Chain A
Amino acid sequence: MEDAESETGLLEKARGGSLPAFEEIVRRYQRRVYATAYRIVRRHEVADDVAQEAFIRAHRSLDRFDAARPFGPWICRIAANLAVNHVRSPAAREEALPDGHAETPSAAASPLQGVLDSEARAMLERALQDLPAEQRAVFCLRVFEELSYREIADVLAISIGTVMSRLSRAREKLREALAPYLAAARRAGSEP
């Protein structure tokens, strides 16, 4: 069964021309790739296009991809690159970002989860949208993709110093936006 196959095996088959193998790889990574794109571009339609294009480019480049390496970081970097290129484009700068994101409760735990209610989440979403695209891209690559500063610098073709300063600024803006909620969380944490 292909479902049980290792990623390396699937990649080898895909490189040999197996469409089912490539589609299995797509199924395994489509959510992650979409998420990478969406967090940067903040629009479903664009994220969809970016995610599809990322897989198309990966498919074209399979013959030079080292199948022994993990596919996930590679495809996500392709997606991140495409997403950043989009937000850098003049057309993207003119696009108005959509209003708030879906507010589905998340199962993920965080120090703020108990206090960070839907209002706070909406505030954080808005603050993320309001970040300059370049800062948002750096923040997303670091926080969601967990790339090192060197890797982010390579993906975005900027210096490590620029990565550092953009990330610091992005975090400070988000922190300011969440300040009331952070204070509430602190108070709640200090109560007996």
Chain B
Amino acid sequence: MSAHVEDRLSPYLDGELSAGERDRVESHLRGCPACARHLEELRAVDAAARALPLEAPAGYFGSFSGRLRERLPQRRARRWPAWALAAAAGLALAVLVPLSARRVVSPVPEAVKTDALRSSTPTTLVAASPAFAEPPRVRAKTAAEPGAAPPAGVATPVPMMASREQLKSGLYAQKRSGPSAQEPSSQAAANQAAPPAAPAAGPAPASVSGAAERLEGAEEKNKEGPLRKIQRDEASRGVRTDAQLMRADEDVGYQSLLVRQAGSVDEARRLADAWKTFAETHPASPRADEARVRAIEARGLAWRLSHDPADLDRVRQSARAYLASSRAPQRERVRALLETLPASEP
């Protein structure tokens, strides 16, 4: 009798052996009751495992999609790293504090005004953000907190971008606890203040804070508008949206591209296009060179994922164009990338 085949039984059971190995195993099994029994036991183990009951708490599946709806917008916000949040919050505050002092804080009593300003430092915004301080489950609960007061709107209409930033800033969150938060029309104003086509090339704007998350959670309680809006934004991710973002704010555009990951050919191509667009849109920016190099690298990634000769041509062309330019401070980085590509035809 041939040698026992225990070590081949598991892949045999799964049909993962080559034809030759399978024949050898089957030939052995016909003459070896011990191995045949071993195989039956492995098969029984699989069957028993499949038959194990699997229970979830009562009502779990009934509430699943509702809880999922609550988490969708918050997940978007989480894609921003803490340092980007802090930087953008600081930037937004630098612009908004003067605006807010006149438009938002002034009507609020002195005590509230002081609290608002104190809590609106970038550090506080980050530290208070559930996105970074708590696990996802806890954040979901925070957003849907029954006791959370509904956010108040901005009493006087302000330009769309400013309103968006105010909504996302701690100033806004503080204001809602003031007397004007009781105004019946304030929620509607808040909803109107958020632009329907908010920039969303993947990550949320960098000014998203804990206050913004609470705001979005509260908005969802009233209607599904923000979720639908985010869904549209997600579906329309691409170069066009990136370009809009970058026009709106170079910092936000750059940070959004930095955190964007490409897991497919199409994403890598879009990312390459987006970096190229950034470099062309902000030629004088100190980040333009990095954007050019990242465009080349993303193009290289697209080729590695697709093995499409057209992608290979494009990465070669863009790399050579970079190396041929008079200003190419990252020449070595691009040259190293070129060396990883297949040798081109003479």
Contact = CB atoms under 8 A, between A and B. Distances in A.
Given A15-B235, A63-B235, A106-B51, A44 B56 contact: yes
A23 B61 CA distance: 12
B47 A110 contact: yes
A185 B44 CA distance: 10
A27 B65 contact: yes
Interface in A1-59: 15-17, 19, 22-23, 26-27, 30-31, 34-35, 38-39, 44-45, 48-49, 51-53, 55-56, 59
B10 A168 contact: yes
Interface residues of A, number: 63
B231 interface: yes
Interface size class of chain B, counting residues whose CB lies under 8 Å from the partner chain: 35 or more
B48 interface: yes
17 contacts: A16-B235, A17-B232, A26-B68, A31-B61, A39-B54, A53-B136, A63-B234, A63-B235, A110-B47, A110-B50, A116-B48, A144-B50, A164-B10, A167-B11, A168-B11, A171-B10, A174-B45
A141 B231 CA distance: 30
B48 A124 contact: yes
B267 interface: yes
A55 B235 contact: no
B24 interface: no
Q: Which of A121, A167, A168 has the most CB of B within 10 A?
A: A168
Given A143-B50, A164-B11, A168-B7, A52 B44 contact: no
B10 A23 contact: no
A108 interface: yes
A125 B54 CA distance: 11
A112 B51 CA distance: 10
Contacts of A148: 14, 16
B275 to A, nearest CB: 19
Contact of B72 (A17, A48, A56): A56
B53 A103 contact: yes
A182 B45 CA distance: 9
Q: Which 10 A-B residue pairings sit nearest by Cβ, starting from the closest?
A: A110-B47, A104-B53, A168-B10, A108-B51, A102-B55, A17-B232, A110-B51, A26-B65, A174-B45, A30-B64
Nearest to B74: A56
Interface in A106-141: 106, 108-113, 116, 120-121, 124-125, 128, 139
A88 interface: no
Contact of A149 (B11, B43, B51, B65): B11
Contacts of A53: 75, 136
Q: Does more than half of chain A's interface fall in helix, strand or loop, or is it mixed?
A: helix
Interface string B223-243: 010011001101101000000
B71 A64 contact: no
Nearest to B231: A17
A67 interface: no
A35 B235 contact: no
Contacts, number: 152
B257 to A, nearest CB: 17
Contacts of A149: 11, 14, 16
Contact of B64 (A26, A59, A116, A144): A26
B52 interface: yes
A34 B136 CA distance: 17
A63 B69 CA distance: 19
Interface string B27-70: 00000000001101111111111111111110011001101110
A103 B227 CA distance: 39
A43 to B, nearest CB: 12
Contacts of A175: 38, 41-42, 45
A121 B48 CA distance: 8
Nearest to B47: A110
Nearest to A107: B51
Contacts of A62: 234-235
Interface string A73-115: 0000000000000000000000000000111111011111100
A95 to B, nearest CB: 13
Contacts of A182: 41, 44-45
Given A59-B231, A64-B264, A49 B136 contact: yes
A19 B223 CA distance: 12
B256 to A, nearest CB: 14
A103 B75 CA distance: 35
Contacts of B232: 17
